[in-house]
Chain A
Amino acid sequence: MIPFLLRRLVQAIPTLLLSSVLIFFVIQLAPGDFLTTARLNPNISPEQVANLERNFGLDRPVWQQYLLWMQNMLRGDFGLSFQYQQPVLEVVWPRVLNSLWLVLLNLFFFYLIAIPVGVYGAVRQNSLGDKAINVVLYFLLGFPSFFLALITIYLILQVRNATGLDIPVGGMTSNNYEQLSTLGRIWDVLKHLLIPALVLAISDAAGLTRVIRGQMLEVMRSDYIRTARAKGVGERSVIWKHTFRNGILPIVAGIGGLLPGLISGAGFIEVVFAYPGITPMLLTAINTQDLYLIAGFTVITTVLLIVGNAISDLLLAVVDPRVKVA
């Protein structure tokens, strides 16, 4: 296992180097820079803009900026965010944490929905229930998650207006959050997380459910399942131990991809629900051309992607005895 990890580490170096070059220069391709709006501000003199350019290092050629950035990054310094005038990691970390809660809850629901529904579809293939689920999933697959979120918000508002129930529609905490007890705070956050996490899980689960259903069906037709059944193995054991375990291999292989997903947030759901996660912040950073914030965050997710893939391979070896890491 250790040689495998070492090999992965060595492979990661050129990958990271190349991706960092790409990240940095692609960002630079966009016209203008962080100070473009300052140039149009009648209250800021050109001398001060030049001074800020010098302070931010924007007056240097792009390759010099890249080398400097690379040098700092090797020392664990991702640079300063222009907007916040703070190290990138300090800016990003609280937002990542917020996103993490949402994504974790979302994953919980995601698997909670996708696995049983997928298995059900395979076991009761072509039953009325299976067909009904298929129709719903077809719809959900075609729905962008943000649109589903908007519809949900509309429905919540109708319910709120009709019943007076205090169902949160956005944000992460209530206005009186500071006055709540620890337990109250946890409940408050959970209340806010619930709906966005569910919406996201439902819209995402559509894809996975279909994959599980297909995989299960394929495995169920194989010889060893028939053999197991013929030997008198219990139905529960056949489905969960023999079929399911073999059916989820491709899903395990994909788990590594979750790692960067954990910190890169829940995307537009965060924007629609005004959730203070990483996505709204990154969108602002892209808008204001906060170079190091975008680049730094992208590099972190790239690293996690590489680590996640390695973990995936390890997990696959655990689940599937045919696969060996060495």
Chain B
Amino acid sequence: MKKALLVALAMTAGSAVAAPFVWPAAWTAEQNTANKRGGEFRDYTISDFKTFNPFTSAEATSVPDTMAEGTGLFIQDPRNDDLIPYMAAGEPTVSNGGKRFVVKIRQGMKFSDGQPITADDWITTWKIHTDDKVGSNSYDSFFLNKKPITIKKIDDYTLQFDFPQASSQAYVRMAFTPWPDHIFGKAYRAGGAEAIKKMWTLGTPANQIVSPGMWVLSSYRAGERTVFERNKYWGEWNKDSRGNALPYLDQYSYRITSDLNAALAAFLAGQIDAFGPRNADDLAQIKRAIDSGKLKATLLPNVSPQASSQWIVFNWNKASDPAKQKLFRDVRFRRAMSHIANREAMIQLALGGLGSENYFSVYPIFKQQIAAGASAPKYPYNLAEASKLLAQLGYTKKNAQGYLVDKNGKVLEFNLSTNAGNTVREQLGRIFADEAKKVGVKVNFTPIDFNNLVNQLTAKGEDRPFDAILLGLSGGSNIWPFGSNVVPCGGNLHSYNNNSKGTCLTPQESLMTKLYYQGDAEIDPAKRRAIGAQLMKAEGELQPVIYLVGGNYHVAFNERVGGEYPRNLMNAYYGSRMNALTFIK
């Protein structure tokens, strides 16, 4: 009798709460077999939090982002980059040529205040993000080529997404975090965008903050420390591979350190649990502390390349100096410049030996795309080749100072600037200028103010105010790893050619624009990578931007924490661990 009752009870419970999401055991190298629970993971951030409001937040590490951990209709599997159903109950039903997705939402999920998470929460969140008066940072992710993505509620647990065109990023765009309709929806309907902006400021008491994710705000102390605690309702639908509720940790905290040096000091003193070493110096300090027994920690250098790139771009819009414009537009000149870039020396001298060579806009960390485009042309360091190409341009004679001159005796020279204060970029520029001098190219390298530099780079028109700029970019996903405002003509970071009409100047540029949109609309990953490979080929041939080098990603964490990724899953894109599977030993 007792047993029958138990079975009946289990069955009713089973029907009320849908099956939980089971976190694969393969996502962690060190499983929590001892059933250790509780404890606090102590993280750091270098700038103070600015708001708790998910709609106005714009910081790299933010309170809303931390609370959003463990949400989204789909999540990316670090093993193969696939997007798998998460808050969605299963794969969506796709129709209308890959433009309509009907998604069933997992039942039984709750916000940290115990309210169920339903379709209304997604609808409200979408509406607020797309109100341009709110100024949300996620605004752009709800538009495709300026056309809106629309979301409809079919019933409480079914959503219908309509895309204006097929999109490789569809699953990512659908995977936004739902914020509570019973809080934000109410405010929005009553007071519109202005009411939303006033919500959840730093003055809001932590107990009024509601989270859909793994963590909920517990306490905030300006400029010092912010603590999150486990959302107990989250564990109801998130289990480890043995059926235990997640996360194992009770708390997750951020110490606000004034800069990375202070963060390193805190890590060395054992006050925080993880640190991202930047360079050889950081690595050496950590290693010394470990070797001397002062610090019990794991140090993994050179885990992967960083998801960023450093490059030099030449300005094609210099109406005031037709000779230079002609030169910069000549593909042979740009190839010669790529041959001049001594990437090995840059890694050794500027990055302390801890870096990777870059040849394409795709970061080397996105291995699958890089492998697909392996046959795309590269122009590696080779001064003889550079001289040959420059000779083809008519630069065969050198003057008394050793610089190449054209037939009128004009020296081959250009100005190169980067942002002052970035020591790595300053060194990269010097190395480039030194190598250029060896073949007789005069590079006037000057670091200038960052804001000035950005204004020059993003200037539009037929006569833009720079010769060449050395800068870096980061950001972007591994699904379609090309930048929407970098590759297509007319994009504001299409920095080599940004004329007033936003038109392409060369066939390769047009081809790249076409391939960009084609790949962006391709849902099949293999086909998409093949398009990406063609794009890389066009990019390699055109050399509109000379990609140089990128730093490497290093991992360091305190021995007291466990549950990190297996070594082969760690990289700059996915990080070193999933917080849900992290535990204190």
Contact = CB atoms under 8 A, between A and B. Distances in A.
Given A30-B451, A32-B452, A94-B222, A42 B139 contact: no
A39 B221 contact: no
A52 B473 contact: no
9 contacts: A31-B452, A32-B454, A39-B492, A42-B485, A84-B51, A90-B201, A175-B225, A274-B223, A276-B48
Contact-size category for A: 35 or more
B450 A36 contact: yes
Contacts of A172: 221, 223-224
A94 B492 CA distance: 39
A82 to B, nearest CB: 9
Interface string A29-54: 01111001101111111111101100
Given A39-B458, A43-B475, A175-B225, A48 B139 contact: yes
A31 B483 contact: no
Given A42-B476, A98-B222, A85 B197 contact: yes
A271 interface: yes
Given A31-B451, A51-B139, A276-B221, 9 more contacts: A39-B492, A40-B473, A42-B473, A42-B486, A85-B51, A85-B56, A86-B202, A172-B221, A280-B258
B321 interface: no
B95 interface: no
Contacts of B397: none
Contact of B48 (A36, A43, A281): A281
A172 B221 CA distance: 9
Interface string B487-499: 0000111000000
B203 interface: yes
A36 B484 contact: no
A173 interface: yes
B503 interface: no
A26 B50 CA distance: 25
A95 B203 CA distance: 12
A177 interface: yes
B457 interface: yes
A293 to B, nearest CB: 11
B137 interface: yes
Interface in B405-452: 449-452
B367 to A, nearest CB: 20
Contacts of A98: 222-223
A197 B256 CA distance: 21
A98 B224 CA distance: 12
B132 interface: yes
Contact of A39 (B203, B454, B483): B454
Nearest to A170: B262
Contacts of A274: 223-224, 256-258, 262
B435 to A, nearest CB: 26
Nearest to A41: B475
Contacts of B452: 31-32
B567 interface: no
Contacts of A40: 454, 457-458, 471, 473, 493
6 A-B pairs with the lowest CB-CB distances in the bound complex, closest first: A32-B451, A276-B223, A42-B483, A46-B492, A85-B56, A31-B451
Nearest to B452: A31
B484 A42 contact: yes
Contacts of B484: 42, 45
Could you say which of B132, B143, B457, B476 has the most chain A C-beta atoms within 10 Å of its C-beta? B132
Contacts of A52: 135
Contact of A95 (B50, B135, B219, B223): B223
A157 B67 CA distance: 35
A96 B8 CA distance: 61
A37 B454 contact: yes
Nearest to A44: B140
Contacts of A284: 47-48
